[in-house]
Amino acid sequence: MFIHDLNCDWMSHPFLRNRFVVSNEAEIRKIAESGIHEIYIDTDKGLDVVHAPTMQEVKAQLENEMREIGARKAPAVDKHVSAHEEFGRAQMVHNEANQIIHGMLHDVRLGKQVDLELVTPSVERMTTSILRNNGALLALCRIKDKDNYTFQHSVSVGALMVTFCNAMHMDQEVIHQAGIGGMLHDIGKMKIPDEILNKPDRLTEREFSIIKCHVVESKAILSRAKGISQTSIDVAAQHHERHDGSGYPEGLKGHEISQLGQMAAIVDVYDALTSDRCYHKGMPPTDALRKIYEWSKFHFNPELVQSFMRTIGIYPVGTLVRLESGRLGVVVEQNEKNLISPKIKVFFSLKSNSYIPPEIVDLSRSMGHGGADKIVRHESPEKLHIDPLKFM
């Protein structure tokens, strides 16, 4: 058979390629031992399986289930301002956090210890922005330069952890410590040789085993930091553990993993999937959520995955979407009662192939009340040469 997709995030398997011909039993055992439960095969390039569902059937089923989840009421989270009003402040918070983490990772590479006094104020400002409106900062966190991925990813995971914990109505101190853990979760990568960490191609098995050590290094570095909490350490130490026990470094399973560790695993993979890297193109957020939901049968806590989806929305703020009316718009606000009917700022007509005066459309409203439209699908900003954040 010809494997088309190993159906897991790239840091969960040791193979040089995602697509290859299976030629012997040893390769099948290796796939199974990697914690991979289901794969996609290309029936044009290899043998078929009579009763296996097609990729289109699986995708349609997953999307139907996601729509059902999206139609449920999301956790009530107070938003004090609109994403548009928060956008400017969120940009300053985001830029500052990137500068601080970039400097801290550089210091750790030089052998210095983590200085929490530098991180704490940044996490506090990040939390304040998210409490005002989480959409603005999270939309900015999806913008990454592939050459600076490591520290930008760290900031994104910190912001996502704060947002997720807040939606779960956790204690403010827990939210703060989870944010610190998210910001510093990959700090152990500074102990990984540059030629492996920044390799533009897939890693070899030996390189893969070396980079997996970054979790142990993160735990060791943070354990030496003055004033660090166990909560923050758990986030860093457990973000590669998996619900079925197939993760690393300890192979923890189910509730052996702390709740914050399980949440960190979800947000870490989500941000990695949606980011451009040297060796792979980032997915649109909606596609990434669909993959994580699919993998939650084995690798993630299904209840927490659904909570995460309801937290950021099926179409997160900043997503470019096509409406049934033939207009393009950017998601600017979620509708807590129905996540597949968010508020959209429309700005382009595909029928006339021209920009139109920006207008807010609340998809939860009926005809005559600013609504009566619906999302057909999300679109790629790169393919259409549109920056949706300009219209936030």
Going by C-alpha positions, the residue among 375, 391, 378, 390 that lies closest to residue 320 is: 378
pLDDT in tens, the chain (392 residues): 999 998 887 666 767 677 899 989 998 998 888 888 899 999 999 999 888 999 999 999 999 999 888 887 766 677 789 999 999 999 999 999 999 999 999 999 999 999 999 999 999 999 999 999 999 999 999 988 877 888 899 999 999 999 999 999 999 999 999 999 999 999 999 999 988 888 877 788 889 899 999 999 999 999 999 999 999 999 999 999 999 999 999 999 999 999 999 999 999 999 999 998 776 788 899 999 999 999 999 999 999 999 999 999 999 999 999 999 999 999 999 988 888 899 999 999 999 999 999 999 999 887 655 567 899 999 999 888 999 999 98
Going by C-alpha positions, the residue among 44, 58, 60, 41 that lies closest to residue 2 is: 41
Secondary structure of residue 166 in the 3-state scheme:
helix
Residue with the two structure tokens 């703020």: 317
* C-alpha angle 210-215-217 in degrees, rounded to nearest 5: 80
Enter the pTM of the model. 0.92
- What is each CA distance from 369 to 73, 335, 360, 365, 375, in whole angstroms? 21, 15, 11, 6, 17
Integer Cα distance of 390 and 392 in angstroms: 6
Q: Are 387 and 381 in contact (CB under 8 A)?
A: yes
Q: Are 221 and 108 in contact (CB under 8 A)?
A: yes
Report domain extents, the chain.
2-52, 83-312, 320-391
Integer Cα distance of 308 and 316 in angstroms: 11
Secondary structure of residue 361 in the 3-state scheme:
strand
Alpha helices in 199-258 (DSSP H): 205-211, 214-223, 230-238
Q: Are 233 and 150 in contact (CB under 8 A)?
A: no
* C-alpha angle 179-270-70 in degrees, rounded to nearest 5: 100
Q: Which helix (H) or strand (E) holds 289?
A: helix 285-295
Going by C-alpha positions, the residue among 310, 71, 109 that lies closest to residue 194 is: 109
Tell me phi and psi for residue 391, to 5 degrees: -105, 10
> Angle, to 10 degrees, between the axis of helix 285-295 and the axis of helix 55-71?
100
Secondary structure of residue 108 in the 3-state scheme:
helix
Q: Are 124 and 176 in contact (CB under 8 A)?
A: yes
DSSP state of 363: T
Q: Which residues contact 104 (CB under 8 A, 6 or more apart)?
A: 114, 115, 118, 119, 184, 187
Taking the mean position of all CA atoms in its chain, how far away is CA 391? Answer: 23
Q: Which residues contact 361 (CB under 8 A, 6 or more apart)?
A: 323, 327, 329, 343, 344, 345, 346, 370, 371, 373
Residue with the two structure tokens 């390039």: 45
**Among 1.10.260.40, 1.20.272.10, 1.10.3210.10, 3.40.50.150, what is the CATH number of 83-312?**
1.10.3210.10
Which tokens in the block code for residue 82?
């609109």
